[in-house]
Structure 1
């Protein structure tokens, strides 16, 4: 590189023979004194060594000689100033190259080295060459390191030491020596060449930006050192870090051409800090939508608060992705759950709020709420300290009045709770190694389509994915592995939950979930569970089993299709209803369960795969499809596949409607459920009323409410085989539990019929 050639810069001063009016005896600035007409200076036209040269009598302690022309000093440029000097008579002085650093507005840039190495003249007549290199970067061999602030220099030399000597000076030479430091074959530029100083104190933002501007498609090299950046810095070219950078927490480093985690780790020298700085940039620039961790593992001993890390945004809706890496949560007290108890009052008039909360300031957003009459997975969505109120993610089913509640704040590897809204965020191929120390992911309060795909959540301490508000609206969880930390425990002793949902329209697909307390606690409607395999068994014979999926809303409009449901069951409740009794609302309905594999191993006979648990009276099933499933029990029979848990309230079987329960396969189930169900009934002795028992087959042991078919199989006869041709009439809802049907004939008879009954009415 030679700026005189490539950019046409004029570097060389004029010869002395052209006149001394451009040669200053001061700093070289406009208006300074010159040597023109000075009695102590003269042009010598024919020196035997120099040809034409300047002869000076030293009369000052520092006798200055400066060219008044402005020698430009561009970023990344290095100039060598040299002169040949010889002593002629009198005292022998010292000689050194010197300059004056000029900045914008022709101001003097102070605080810089403006002299080169000094040389003492030893004898008369001997030619001595003095030289110095000036440049922007702190490189070996640079005598005057000026950085990026000076724009030009007035260069020359100083005579110091004893006065009274006469010296002759050959014409001053200024040459571009940049190629000695920056070989043109190199495809990088060094920030040091643009004034960067890696002392950990000097602000290098301007130097970094100058190097980036000069790179013009080449790589920027951050050489060895620690470089302080006091403001945001954006690189438009690729950057290679040998040294590291430090910057305030709220300042961003954006690497637009090599935006990935390893580059940030190289930049900051610390994995966690590097991740946070990369996330800052991810949320603040539009020219990259994905942070690739490049397979790197980050070891962490505390939660990562993504909202606090970003620092300047409370809501965000542009698609952003973190992908291809691992977080390793190591043992630390920072993961300990914060547990507080406080007295508070609950009323159904404002059914998602606690009022009069004692010591409300200690309650943290995102805390799990527990207490009498509180359903599962109720979280603190917000806290108003002044009003002493706590807003909840769900209503409470039976908590009216004042009581003491427990608030438990789990700690998560990735915590998004600080965002008021976060949409279209993706975690892709990320391994969250919770290691029994931390929980996995806490979602933002609100937002759409948070997507977790092809990820591992390994041994979360308490929770895998937690929603504290509606940040789960439209959430997608695809092809993930949820591996419990509680696998050695009995099923009934497990308390961890893989994920919960509060809003609508989630898609939970093709995941593998191993031995949690629950796979999913799901509120809202419009959910799709497909292709998942979750299993929750243990080694205890006749063991107790917990729900895999727990739906907590009556009308769910959801489907559970093509899953492998192993040693767990689907539970359907309305525990997130402040007035859980039925009152002119949609009751249990809208659930489709089809083409699943249901398996149970070593369970008690009373185990069931589909359980409805009303939390208030008057409810019924209105719209449910259970078809094409395989129900198989291993190592012992179960009584039946379905059950109503009436420990709080039962169902109103007189209002059941629109239930399809067909085409299922039962293996080792004593009673097999169908709707409609067709049973053969054989009356072996003459009787006018035939009693047909449907109790073993109607869904949820409901009532036999309708007959849709009656066919005689063979002859109906009386006495000694006298044919009966009359048809009977039917009486539904017979028996103590109304699950029998009576056939009443005109006269006593016997024979075999196929009778089809339903548990429901169509409307």
Structure 2
């Protein structure tokens, strides 16, 4: 680069032969004294070394020689002043290249260096070459860095040292040597050319933005050094970082042209900090809708407080995505779970509050709550320290009064719980490599439509994805792998959970989960769970199994279809009901379990694939569809595919409504349930009262409440084998378990009938 060529700038001052009236003995500014007709200066037409030259006697302590023309200085352009000089007689002075810096309005730029190092003349008649370099940036080899405000200079030389000596000076040369500072074939704008100083303390924000403004399509180079940026900087050109930047937490670096994680990691010289600052930019209009990690692995030494990375925002509701990379937990004590035990009071009348909480200051928002009468996956959503109150993510089923509660604050690779609300946020194609040290993702306490797509939740210590409030509203979890850290443990020893949801409209689709205690605990309604494979077995003969999917809302209005439920079961409860006894409403209602594959092996005979567990009395089934499923047990039979867990209470089967169990396939399952249930009954001896047993095959061992039809299979005969054409009536709810009917005939008959009975109205 040579601006004298590319832009036609006039850099060379005129030869002394043209006259000394343009050569000042002062700073070179208009009106300053010149050497024209001066007593101590004369033009020498012929010199053995120089040809034409200026002969000058030093009469001032600093004898100045300045060209009065305005030699332009532009950012990114570096000029060399070259002086060839020799001592002729008298005292031997020293010489240095020098200049006077001016802004565009002609005013002097104070505080900048106006000369190069001096060189002492030591021998008469010896030609000495003295140079000095001037430019906007403080770069290595630049003697006079004048900053980006410099517009032009008056250049020449200074004689210093003893007075009285006579010297001769060849014509002064000024040339563009910018190419000495640029890499071959690299079109860049260097921030140091615009005043940036990489000393870690000088505020370079204005210099960075000035370089960006001048880039005009070129890349911006941040050379080696540490550059402090005291305020937000937005760069609209691609930036290349050889050095690093440092800035306050509240200040943002917006790399709009090359917005990606590697650029931020290079900019800040630290992966974790670079990730935080890149996320900060994403939430503050980086001109991109997603942060691309570009396949990079980020080693994380402690929980990343995502809200803390964006101190200027407490909520956000515009679509943003982080994608394509890996976060890996390094060995660190920062992942240790904080455990606090506190006394608190609970009242079902304010079902999501704990009051009079002792030691509340030490209880973290987002902590898991444990205690008597507390259901699974109840978290601290918020706290009011002054009032001593905690707001919970769900109600407690039997904790009335005052007791001690335990609060466990798990640590997460990425933690969004510091936001008050976060909506339309996505995580895509990310592996959360927890290494058994931490959990993966904690959602914000409020918000909607979080999307987690094609991610790996690998070896979480405690939890994969945690919702501490309603930030899971409408959550989409698709195509993800949940890989347990507890794979080698027996089922009874596992404690980790893949994910939980507290609010409505969750979509879990095409995921795979291995050997957690539970794959998913869904606390809301209107859920869709489809196409997933979750398995939780072990090698223990007659082993116990835990629920893979837990539905904690009795009126769940959910669909569970096309899943592979492997060595675990679906559990349906009302454990978040503050008054768990039935007092009104729809009770256990609106659940469809369709076209799933259920498989188990080496399990106890009482194991079942669908379990209803009422936490209070009086509940009943009210709209349940179990159709088209495949139930198969290997290495031993099981008693039935569905059952009621009566640990707290049973179901009221006298109120069952709209229960459809049909079209299912059973292999090694003793009781093959259906509703309506078709039973073949063969009466070998004539009787006017036939007892027809359901054989325990009404779903959940319900009551035989209705008979849809009775069809004779062949002739009905009397004891004497005379054929009779007769129709019975049915008595329902017969037997000790009310699962039998009695057919009453006009007279004693025998024969075979098909009975279609049902448990529901």
TM over 0.5: yes
Which residue in the other structure is 1:694 paired with?
A: 694
Residue 664 (1) aligns with residue 655 (2): no
Which residue in the other structure is 2:593 paired with?
A: 593
Which deviates more from structure 2 when the two are superposed, residues 285-294 or residues 629-638? Answer: 285-294
Which residue in the other structure is 1:218 paired with?
A: 218
Measure the CA separation in 2 of the matches of 1:61 and 1:186: 45
Per-residue CA shift, 1:70-93, capped at 9, x if unaligned? Answer: 433211110112334344443232
Per-residue CA shift, 1:459-494, capped at 9, x if unaligned? Answer: 111101000011111111111111112222221221
1:429-578 to structure 2, matched below 5 A, reads 429-578=429-578
Measure the CA separation in 2 of the matches of 1:342 and 1:123: 90
Which residue in the other structure is 1:332 paired with?
A: 332
Which residue in the other structure is 2:747 paired with?
A: 747
Measure the CA separation in 2 of the matches of 1:227 and 1:630: 65
Secondary structure of the residue that 2:101 maps to in structure 1?
Answer: strand
Per-residue CA shift, 1:158-191, capped at 9, x if unaligned? Answer: 1111112233444433222223433784333333
Measure the CA separation in 1 of the matches of 2:656 and 2:105: 89
Which residue in the other structure is 2:637 paired with?
A: 637
Q: TM-score, normalised by structure 2?
A: 0.95
Measured on the aligned residues, the alpha-carbon RMSD in Å equals: 2.2
Residue 227 (1) aligns with residue 230 (2): no
Q: CA deviation at 1:233?
A: 2.5
Residue 44 (1) aligns with residue 14 (2): no
Number of aligned residue pairs: 760
Which residue in the other structure is 1:90 paired with?
A: 90
Q: CA deviation at 1:696?
A: 1.3
Measure the CA separation in 2 of the matches of 1:214 and 1:632: 71
Tell whether the 8 Å contact from 1:148 to 1:206 is kept in structure 2 after alignment: no
Q: TM-score, normalised by structure 1?
A: 0.95
Secondary structure of the residue that 2:307 maps to in structure 1?
Answer: helix
Measure the CA separation in 1 of the matches of 2:680 and 2:513: 42
Measure the CA separation in 2 of the matches of 1:272 and 1:424: 24
Q: CA deviation at 1:131?
A: 2.4
Q: CA deviation at 1:632?
A: 0.6
Per-residue CA shift, 1:193-212, capped at 9, x if unaligned? Answer: 33433333333333333333
Which deviates more from structure 2 when the two are superposed, residues 319-328 or residues 468-477? Answer: 319-328
Secondary structure of the residue that 1:307 maps to in structure 2?
Answer: coil
1:412-431 to structure 2, matched below 5 A, reads 412-431=412-431
Quickly say closer, same or farther: Cα 1:123–1:517, change in 2 above 3 A. Answer: closer
Which residue in the other structure is 1:34 paired with?
A: 33
Quickly say closer, same or farther: Cα 1:289–1:759, change in 2 above 3 A. Answer: same
Which residue in the other structure is 2:680 paired with?
A: 680
Per-residue CA shift, 1:640-686, capped at 9, x if unaligned? Answer: 11111122122121111111110000011111110111111111111
Which residue in the other structure is 1:80 paired with?
A: 80
Q: CA deviation at 1:278?
A: 1.7
Tell whether the 8 Å contact from 2:40 to 2:58 is kept in structure 1 after alignment: no
Which deviates more from structure 2 when the two are superposed, residues 518-527 or residues 176-185? Answer: 176-185
Which deviates more from structure 2 when the two are superposed, residues 514-523 or residues 77-86? Answer: 77-86
Measure the CA separation in 2 of the matches of 1:70 and 1:357: 77
Q: CA deviation at 1:535?
A: 0.8
Which deviates more from structure 2 when the two are superposed, residues 575-584 or residues 7-16? Answer: 7-16
Measure the CA separation in 2 of the matches of 1:110 and 1:661: 91
Measure the CA separation in 2 of the matches of 1:602 and 1:89: 111
Tell whether the 8 Å contact from 2:47 to 2:53 is kept in structure 1 after alignment: no
| TM superposition outliers: structure 1 runs of 4+ over 6 Å | none
Which deviates more from structure 2 when the two are superposed, residues 158-167 or residues 95-104? Answer: 95-104
Which deviates more from structure 2 when the two are superposed, residues 286-295 or residues 752-761? Answer: 286-295
1:167-206 to structure 2, matched below 5 A, reads 167-182=167-182, 185-206=185-206
Q: CA deviation at 1:122?
A: 4.3
Q: Tell me, which stretches of 5 or more residues in structure 1 are unaligned?
A: none
Q: CA deviation at 1:528?
A: 1.1
Tell whether the 8 Å contact from 1:40 to 1:56 is kept in structure 2 after alignment: no
Secondary structure of the residue that 2:207 maps to in structure 1?
Answer: helix
Measure the CA separation in 2 of the matches of 1:125 and 1:132: 22
Q: Tell me, which stretches of 5 or more residues in structure 2 are unaligned?
A: none
Per-residue CA shift, 1:311-366, capped at 9, x if unaligned? Answer: 22111122222222112212321111111111111112221111111121111100
Q: CA deviation at 1:614?
A: 1.0
Q: CA deviation at 1:759?
A: 0.8
Quickly say closer, same or farther: Cα 1:104–1:500, change in 2 above 3 A. Answer: farther
Q: CA deviation at 1:250?
A: 2.7
Tell whether the 8 Å contact from 1:553 to 1:575 is kept in structure 2 after alignment: yes
Q: CA deviation at 1:590?
A: 1.2
Measure the CA separation in 1 of the matches of 2:481 and 2:291: 22
Quickly say closer, same or farther: Cα 1:7–1:357, change in 2 above 3 A. Answer: same
Which residue in the other structure is 2:372 paired with?
A: 372
Per-residue CA shift, 1:340-398, capped at 9, x if unaligned? Answer: 11111111222111111112111110000111111111100001011111000001111
Per-residue CA shift, 1:26-85, capped at 9, x if unaligned? Answer: 333456x42267744545373546676554332211112223444332111101123343
Which deviates more from structure 2 when the two are superposed, residues 285-294 or residues 688-697? Answer: 285-294
Secondary structure of the residue that 2:640 maps to in structure 1?
Answer: coil
Quickly say closer, same or farther: Cα 1:300–1:183, change in 2 above 3 A. Answer: closer
Measure the CA separation in 2 of the matches of 1:184 and 1:491: 64
1:247-396 to structure 2, matched below 5 A, reads 247-396=247-396
Tell whether the 8 Å contact from 1:20 to 1:34 is kept in structure 2 after alignment: no
Secondary structure of the residue that 2:541 maps to in structure 1?
Answer: coil
Tell whether the 8 Å contact from 1:267 to 1:274 is kept in structure 2 after alignment: yes
Measure the CA separation in 1 of the matches of 2:392 and 2:695: 42
Q: CA deviation at 1:106?
A: 4.8
Which deviates more from structure 2 when the two are superposed, residues 720-729 or residues 285-294? Answer: 285-294
Secondary structure of the residue that 2:283 maps to in structure 1?
Answer: helix
